[in-house]
Structure 1
Amino acid sequence: MDSSDLAYDVFSRQCSSRSTLEHVTGRWGALTLGALHDGTFRFNELRRRVDGVSEKMLSQTLHALERDGLVLRDAQPTNPPRVDYQLTALGREIAERLLALIHFVEGRQGEVLKAQERYDAARGGL
């Protein structure tokens, strides 16, 4: 049986799709995929683009996304070595869907902030 013949259920704790979903929707995964949608980046360029991510977390995120087939790591045998990161076709498709959600959240953030203010006021100014 080929892996494409399997049914996946992210709600099952044993399903492999759950870890992929975590990599894609986690804070650093989503931001990294969104940033890479803009093009090819070197590590430090990407780190500056994803404001607040540590070197360690970005490295771990890129490894996970590369393993999932969403990011392509291109190491050039130059001195000093040059490594570029870009989205695969699958990564681009996922990034486009994530960016639609990101833009939706950004566009509705005013409503979210008002809801938070009402919630906090009703609970004594948390």
Structure 2
Amino acid sequence: MRDTCVPTGVGLKDTGFGYTLSLIGGKYKMIIMYWLSENKVMRHNELRRSIGTISFKTLSIMLKELEADGLILRKEFPQIPPKVEYSLSERGLSLIPLLNMMCEWGEKNSLPALEAIQQ
């Protein structure tokens, strides 16, 4: 059993914790993964509408990075106009319990939840 996820003297990027953060860190990656976990398969514009605050270019970059990291699958259909669908890979699905735990923690520890406990 290890003492810590980020041992003294070891760079964050060289730890499992740092590696995980490098895959899902940033403003949109976890949100994209959340929507794909809820809907199984989505197209680019569906994701963009669901997220609401993301530009076309930013979403394209995030999807390419998630695909390169093996967290999502991109399926292209040979038709005109082009049709592309995104879904979580097995590797991406394995992160969903972590995202769910983060959601639960946030709900229990958000300011309104803490204020309710104090009353």
Shorter chain as denominator, the TM-score bin is 0.7 to 0.9
The RMSD of aligned alpha carbons is 2.4
Point out where structure 1 has 5 or more consecutive residues left out of the alignment: 1-8, 115-126
The one-letter code matched in structure 2 to 1:75 is E
Give a deviation string over 1:68-100, Cα, whole Å, max 9, x none.
000000010011110000000010111231122
| Alignment TM-score, normalising by the size of structure 2 | 0.74
Alignment of 1:103-114 (within 5 A): 103-109=104-110, 110-111=112-113, 114=115
Identity of aligned residues (%): 30
Q: d(CA) in 1 for partners of 2:75 and 2:26?
A: 24
Contact 1:41 1:85 in 2 (8 A): yes
Give a deviation string over 1:9-67, Cα, whole Å, max 9, x none.
79626649646523313220111111111110000001111121111111111111100
Q: d(CA) in 2 for partners of 1:55 and 1:23?
A: 20
- Partner in structure 1 of residue 42 of structure 2: 41
Q: How many residues align?
A: 105
Alignment of 1:38-117 (within 5 A): 38=38, 39-109=40-110, 110-111=112-113, 114=115
- Partner in structure 1 of residue 25 of structure 2: 25
Point out where structure 2 has 5 or more consecutive residues left out of the alignment: 1-5
60-69 or 45-54: bigger deviation: 45-54
Question: Could you say if the C-alpha distance between residues 68 and 95 of structure 1 is closer, same or farther in structure 2, counting changes exceeding 3 Å?
Answer: same
Question: Could you say if the C-alpha distance between residues 37 and 28 of structure 1 is closer, same or farther in structure 2, counting changes exceeding 3 Å?
Answer: same
Contact 2:74 2:84 in 1 (8 A): yes
Question: How far does residue 106 in structure 1 lie from its aligned partner after superposition?
Answer: 3.0
Q: d(CA) in 2 for partners of 1:82 and 1:104?
A: 37
The one-letter code matched in structure 1 to 2:47 is L
Question: Could you say if the C-alpha distance between residues 52 and 21 of structure 1 is closer, same or farther in structure 2, counting changes exceeding 3 Å?
Answer: same
| Alignment TM-score, normalising by the size of structure 1 | 0.70
